[in-house]
């Protein structure tokens, strides 16, 4: 590709240049004037102004990629929980100060305009946010990488509370315009479904053709992924479904207008909505359609647009690794086989070798019910050719197993990609294990448990395939942008190199012993609390006291994460304050903040939300208790709220049952922002504790082997109830109807579940958790020692940068080198 476009200079990086560009956008793109413009007009013009500064770098990045094609990464993820784009684009382009001054000179406020952006909530929780952190790091590290995903028209639902119960509202995030995306309708890809396959013999060789039943168009929308101050802008390509032209036309010709519109709607349903399940997928047909839709479009895009004409496909593994973010994109494995064998005429064996080398798989769970399976019946109906390919992959794989391990039929059944019970179904994690060259877990403990338990047979068969890459978070968004006070303090002390080399935070360690530094550190925390006070007052009408300890538990609502354990602590404290056992004047004053969405179909999770809200109302309404303890549960926790909440927190609650949380990434954000963790030995907590030191972490609870041993011996939660009087009082109080206006039935399902099932061992860890909270209180009383610990948490958490995670992927899996974009 030759570059013939004359280079149009970017707008000048001065206040005047910015003002000029801004007024141009407001006038010529938005079609309004400063006097008439709505807040949304002003925001859109600002977004486009900032975008215009990045545009030539984006073009340059793409041009360089076409001119010097080399080894790269394609990250395939059904979710990207991006958060607001404006602030990130401002810091990545180094335009923050200029923009602020320019807007002020026009009588506008940057703060007001940034608040007008609706965040693209195209993900559920940790998995989607991780993908967003990873693409940020890849761009910042100058790695040629492209992210592929789905442009959901409705992202994660907006949560509201009615009588303390969760109500979901659609998130129509595109309504006010979407200045960060560029549609490329001319690069549409046709994606087929259904139909049947036909066998023909050509020159003695069997050839299979898929004759699909229906198809839709995939329209790409490009998003900028700007590296931090490095002039690289990578691309995130999200696909949107549209009805095929041929489809409507045929029906139009028959004169059935209504039918034509119906089919259009049917096609466009595919990318209509993000499934709000987190960690436990629903086996819905539309979900499989979504998965195949984006994966097939992405592979096609890579082959047709990014690969030069005449590229020898045998060299494909030299060019690309497709990283599969969980099992959602795993259907890409049979799709690549179909492309290579059916469309490109390769032999099966050659194609298989290439396919395996081109894919790597990240597993993000330990819950057996979270491993996706698709009924054979559905797969055969929706993707008949892929089902045949999966059968053959399985046949050859099981033959290999028999050859190496003998005819151990139990083992063969256990390892089969096709499950036989309760119905015949494709186990996507097994397909991923067979069809990739590397498999990784997301924290040390998680990777170990994958090898020892979840994928044990595969790890024994291919030990070298398994590796670990501990998750990370981007320091740009989660420190630099969300915590300007701390960022300035750090930069003043050690320079600004930490933003792209987070291990440099180590240089802060000696300052933990510097009383003046600790004082300033506390000042920053206090200012962050004041910011949170403002936000919650404006956004939710919730008043919180910045003088209290902020004890924060924010994450998806899931039984394994054990929000219930936190509730029991609150209820027990309420009980003791009210009965006079604790003196409100002398205890450490706390504000317990919850933030959590429950999957709309997850009944128990929704009951727990109601319980939190009802307990909160009683706590806050009690004149004695509320002097010392308050509960705040702002609705609709999202990335934007996290950006204000995390920097303000004193205590980070990471209290899942050991062996259940794959990693957690909120835990890392809190530690990096100077909160201390109360946590179990689970997921990445293990590594956080090792790094920050036992003295600066409140550990409690069973270890994974201990929990497993109790389960094996037969766990009896009621025995803990019988033996522990404070636990008994706490549960009895909930059962009494105290928090439900005297109605004992309201929270009865929660109480009986804890007493008679308690799958995640809340009761077993209760006492240990209460003891840990006592240690927290004691530690918090000595503010000077506390802030020493918080400084050490920050100084020792540099490991949890997603830049380090990306470096680990590069070294262990991708083997791609940086390629800075030239001027
Ligand atoms: C989640 C895990 C978290 C982990 C994120 C990112 C799924 C399936 N998994 O512990 O529950 O931090 O993935 O790896 O959403």
Element (H, E) at 403: helix 384-405
DSSP conformational letter for 589: P
**Rg from Cα positions in the chain:** 27
Residues 6+ apart with CB under 8 A from 783: 522
Q: Is the CB of 490 under 6 A from ligand 1?
A: no
Least confident of 61-75, 258-272, 672-686, 782-796: 258-272
Active site residue 4: no
Rounded distance, CA 587 to CA 596, Å? 27
Mean pLDDT along residues 781-809: 98
- Distance CA(237)–CA(182), nearest Å, equals 10
The rounded distance, in Å, linking the Cα atoms of 40 and 65 is: 35
- Choosing from 361, 364, 428, 469 the residue with most ligand 1 atoms within 8 A of its CB, the one to mutate for a pocket test is 364
- Annotation marks residue 199 as catalytic: no
Helices within 155-307 (DSSP H only): 245-253, 257-268, 285-301
Q: Distance between CA atoms of 20 and 818, rounded to whole angstroms?
A: 35
Closest CA to 163 of 593, 563, 613, 541: 613
Note the pLDDT of residue 746. Answer: 98
Can you tell me the distance from the alpha carbon of 794 to that of 504, in angstroms, rounded to the nearest whole number?
Answer: 11
State if residue 665 touches ligand 1 by the CB under 6 angstroms criterion: yes
Instruction: Give 365 Cα–ligand 1 centroid separation in angstroms.
Output: 6
Three-state DSSP state, 165: strand
The residue annotated as part of the active site, out of 235, 327, 362, 665, is 665
How do residues 44-64 score in pLDDT, each as one tens digit?
A: 999 999 999 999 999 999 999
Is the minimum distance from the CB of 130 to ligand 1 under 6 angstroms?
A: yes
**Structural element, H or E, at residue 214:** strand 214-226
Contact status, residue 243 vs residue 268, Cβ threshold 8 Å: yes
In DSSP notation, 96-133 reads HHHHHHHHHHTT--HHHHHTTPPP-EES-SHHHHHHHH
* Ligand 1 center–CA 444 separation, angstroms: 14
The model's pLDDT over 653-689, given as tens digits with 9 standing for 90+, comes to 999 999 999 999 999 999 999 999 999 999 999 999 9
Higher pLDDT, 239 or 281: 239
Query: What is the sign, positive or negative, of the torsion defined by CA atoms of 659, 664, 666, 670?
Result: positive
C-alpha distances (whole Å) from 525 to each of 91, 110, 398, 630, 787 are 22, 23, 57, 19, 10
Q: Is the CB of 278 under 6 A from ligand 1?
A: yes
> For this structure, is 660 an active site residue?
no
pLDDT for 4 equals 58
Measured from the Cα of 129, ligand 1's closest atom is 6
Q: Residue 620 class from Cβ within 10 Å (0-12 exposed, 13-18 middle, 19+ buried)?
A: middle
How far is Cα 363 from Cα 56, in angstroms, rounded to an integer? 37
pLDDT of residue 257: 72
366 lines ligand 1 (CB under 6 A): no
The answer, yes or no, to whether residue 251 has pLDDT greater than 70, is no
Overall average pLDDT of the 350-361 stretch = 98
Is-contact 273 154, C-beta < 8 A? yes
The fraction of the chain above a pLDDT of 70, given in percent, is 98
State if pTM tops 0.85.
yes
Distance of CA 114 to the CA centre of its chain: 22
| 578, HSE (Cβ side, Cα atoms, 13 Å) | 17
Whole-number Å distance, alpha carbon 588 to ligand 1 midpoint, is 33
Provide the mean pLDDT of the chain.
96
Instruction: Tell me if 611 sits within 8 A of 730, measured CB to CB.
Output: no
Give the number of the atom of ligand 1 that is nearest the alpha carbon of residue 661. 10
* Mean pLDDT confidence for 452-473: 98
- DSSP structure class, residue 384: H
The phi and psi torsions of 360 (rounded to 5 degrees) equal -135, 150
Question: Which protein residue's CA is at the shortest distance from atom 6 of ligand 1?
Answer: 127
Instruction: Express each pLDDT in 100-125 by its tens digit.
Output: 999 999 999 999 999 999 999 999 99
pLDDT tens profile 316-343:
999 999 999 999 999 999 999 999 999 9
CA dihedral 440, 73, 685, 777 (to 10 degrees): -160
Instruction: Please indicate whether residue 529 is annotated as part of the active site.
Output: no
Pocket test residue of 274, 370, 663, 688 for ligand 1, highest count of atoms within 8 A of CB: 663
Helix 515-540 vs helix 484-494: angle between axes, to the nearest 10 degrees? Answer: 160
pLDDT of residue 2: 46
Residues 500-512 have pLDDT tens digits of 999 999 999 999 9
CB–CB of 41/26 below 8 Å? Answer: yes
The yes-or-no answer on residue 504 being catalytic is: no
CA 361 → CA 75, 324, 356, 548, 771, distances in Å? 10, 5, 11, 44, 40
What per-residue confidence (pLDDT) applies to 564?
98
Q: Whose CA is nearest to atom 8 of ligand 1?
A: 279
In short, whether 664's Cβ falls inside 6 Å of ligand 1 is: yes
Please tell me the predicted confidence (pLDDT) of residue 249: 58
Spacing, Cα 213 to ligand 1 middle (Å): 36
Confidence of residue 203 (pLDDT cuts 50, 70, 90): confident
**Closest residue to atom 13 of ligand 1, CA basis:** 127
**Reported confidence tier of residue 258, pLDDT bands at 50, 70, 90:** confident
Protein residue closest via CA to atom 9 of ligand 1: 364
CA 667 / ligand 1 centre spacing (Å): 12
- 666, 555 contact by CB (below 8 A): yes
471 pocket-lining for ligand 1 (C-beta < 6 Å): yes
Element housing 652 (H / E): strand 651-654
Atom of ligand 1 nearest to the CA of 124: 15
Length of the chain: 823
Nearest CA to ligand 1 atom 3: 664
Token code pair at residue 421: 């019970």
Which ligand 1 atom minimizes the distance to the CA of 364? 9
Q: What is the structure's pLDDT at 1?
A: 43
In DSSP terms, 288 is beta-bridged to: none
Residues forming a β-bridge with 630:
591
Would you state the pLDDT for residue 206? 87
CB atoms within 10 A of CB 565: 24
Q: How many angstroms separate the alpha carbon of residue 679 from the centre of ligand 1?
A: 17
* Catalytic-labelled residue, pool 129, 364, 385, 529: 364
Q: What is the mean pLDDT of residues 768-786?
A: 98
pLDDT for 3 equals 53
Distance CA 118, CA 636 (A): 13
For residue 387, the SS3 value is: helix
CA 606 to chain centre: 21
Closest CA to 146 of 69, 53, 91, 86: 69
Four-CA torsion 761, 763, 765, 771, nearest 10 degrees:
170
242 CA to centre of ligand 1 in angstroms? 31
Active site residue 669: yes
Contact 17, 10 (CB under 8 A): no
Name the pLDDT band for 250 (thresholds 50, 70, 90): low
Active-site residue (options: 555, 558, 590, 606): 555
Q: How far is the CA of 797 from the centre of ligand 1 (A)?
A: 19
663 touches ligand 1 (CB under 6 Å): yes
Please report the pLDDT score of residue 157 as a whole number. 98
pLDDT at 247 over 60: no
Q: Quick check: helix, strand or coil at residue 361?
A: strand
For the record, the structure tokens of 511 come out as 């300052």
Distance from the CA of 2 to the center of ligand 1, in angstroms? Answer: 43
């Amino acid at each position: 590709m030759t570059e013939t476009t004359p280079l149009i200079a970017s707008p000048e990086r001065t206040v005047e240049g910015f003002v000029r560009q801004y007024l141009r956008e407001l006038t010529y793109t938005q079609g309004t004037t400063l006097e008439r413009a709505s807040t949304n007009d002003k925001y859109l013009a600002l977004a486009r102004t900032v975008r215009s500064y990045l545009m030539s770098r984006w073009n340059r990045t793409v041009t360089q990629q076409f001119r010097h094609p080399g080894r790269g990464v394609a990250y395939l993820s059904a979710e990207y929980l991006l958060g607001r784009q404006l602030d990130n684009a401002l810091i990545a382009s180094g335009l923050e100060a200029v923009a602020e001054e320019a807007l002020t000179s026009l009588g506008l406020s940057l703060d007001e305009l940034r608040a007008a952006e609706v965040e693209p909530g195209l993900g559920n929780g940790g998995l989607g946010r991780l993908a967003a952190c990873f693409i940020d790091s890849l761009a910042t590290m100058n790695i040629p990488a492209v992210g592929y995903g789905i442009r959901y028209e409705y992202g994660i639902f907006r949560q509201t509370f009615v009588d303390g119960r969760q109500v979901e509202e659609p998130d129509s995030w595109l309504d006010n315009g979407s200045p960060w995306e560029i549609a490329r309708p001319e690069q549409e890809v046709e994606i087929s479904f259904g139909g049947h396959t036909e066998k023909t013999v050509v020159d003695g060789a069997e050839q299979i053709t898929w004759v699909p039943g229906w198809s839709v168009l995939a329209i790409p929308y490009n998003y900028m992924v700007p590296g931090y101050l490095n002039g690289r802008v990578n691309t995130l390509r999200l696909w949107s479904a549209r009805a095929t032209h041929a489809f409507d036309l045929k029906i139009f010709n028959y004169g059935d207008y209504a039918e034509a519109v119906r089919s259009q709607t049917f096609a466009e349903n595919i990318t209509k909505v993000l499934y709000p399940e987190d960690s436990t997928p629903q086996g819905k047909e539309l979900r499989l359609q979504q998965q195949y839709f984006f994966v097939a479009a992405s592979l096609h895009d890579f082959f047709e647009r990014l690969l030069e004409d005449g590229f020898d496909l045998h060299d494909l593994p030299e060019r690309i690794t497709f990283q599969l973010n969980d099992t959602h994109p795993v259907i890409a494995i049979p799709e690549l086989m179909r492309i290579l064998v059916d469309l490109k005429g390769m032999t099966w064996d050659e194609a298989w070798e290439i396919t395996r080398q081109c894919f790597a798989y990240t597993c993000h769970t330990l819950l057996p019910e979270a491993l996706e399976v698709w009924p054979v019946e559905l797969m055969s109906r929706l993707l008949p050719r892929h089902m045949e390919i999966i059968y053959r992959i399985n046949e050859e794989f099981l033959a290999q197993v028999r050859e190496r391990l003998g005819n151990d039929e139990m083992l063969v059944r256990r390892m089969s990609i096709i499950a036989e019970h309760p119905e015949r179904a494709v186990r996507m994690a097994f397909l991923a294990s067979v069809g990739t060259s590397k498999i990784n877990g997301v924290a040390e403990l998680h990777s170990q448990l994958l090898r020892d338990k979840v994928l044990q047979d595969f790890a024994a068969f291919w030990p070298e395939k398994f590796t670990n890459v501990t998750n990370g978070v981007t320091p740009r968004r989660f420190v630099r942008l969300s915590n300007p006070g701390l960022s300035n303090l750090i930069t003043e002390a050690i320079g600004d190199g930490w933003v792209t080399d987070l291990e440099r935070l180590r240089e802060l360690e000696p300052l933990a012993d510097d009383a003046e530094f600790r004082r300033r550190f506390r000042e920053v925390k206090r200012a962050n609390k004041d910011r949170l006070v403002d936000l919650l007052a404006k956004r939710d009408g919730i008043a919180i006291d910045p003088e209290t300890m902020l004890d924060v538990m924010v994450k998806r609502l899931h039984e394994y994460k054990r929000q219930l354990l936190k509730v029991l602590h609150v209820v027990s404290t309420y009980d003791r304050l009210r009965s006079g056992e604790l003196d409100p004047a002398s205890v450490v004053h706390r504000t317990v903040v919850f933030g959590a969405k429950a999957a709309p179909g997850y009944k128990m999770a929704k009951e727990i939300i109601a319980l939190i809200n009802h307990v909160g109302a009683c706590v806050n309404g009690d004149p004695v208790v509320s002097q010392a303890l308050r509960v705040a549960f702002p609705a609709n926790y999202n990335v934007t709220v996290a950006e204000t909440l995390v920097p303000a927190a004193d205590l980070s609650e990471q209290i899942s049952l050991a062996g259940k949380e794959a990693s957690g990434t909120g835990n890392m954000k809190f530690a990096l922002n100077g909160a201390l963790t109360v946590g179990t030995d689970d997921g990445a907590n293990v590594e956080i504790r090792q790094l920050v030191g036992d003295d600066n972490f409140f550990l409690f609870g069973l270890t994974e082997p201990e929990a497993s041993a109790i389960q094996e011996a037969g766990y009896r939660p009621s025995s803990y109830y019988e033996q522990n009087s404070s636990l008994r009082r706490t549960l009895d109080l909930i059962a009494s109807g105290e928090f439900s206006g005297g109605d004992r039935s309201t929270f009865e399902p929660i109480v009986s579940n804890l007493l008679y099932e308690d799958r995640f061992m809340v009761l077993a860890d209760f006492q240990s958790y209460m003891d840990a909270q006592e240690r927290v209180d004691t530690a918090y009383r000595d503010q000077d020692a506390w802030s020493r610990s918080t400084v050490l948490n920050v100084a020792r958490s540099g490991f949890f940068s997603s830049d380090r995670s990306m470096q680990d992927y590069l070294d262990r899996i991708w083997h791609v080198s940086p390629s800075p974009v030239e001027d």
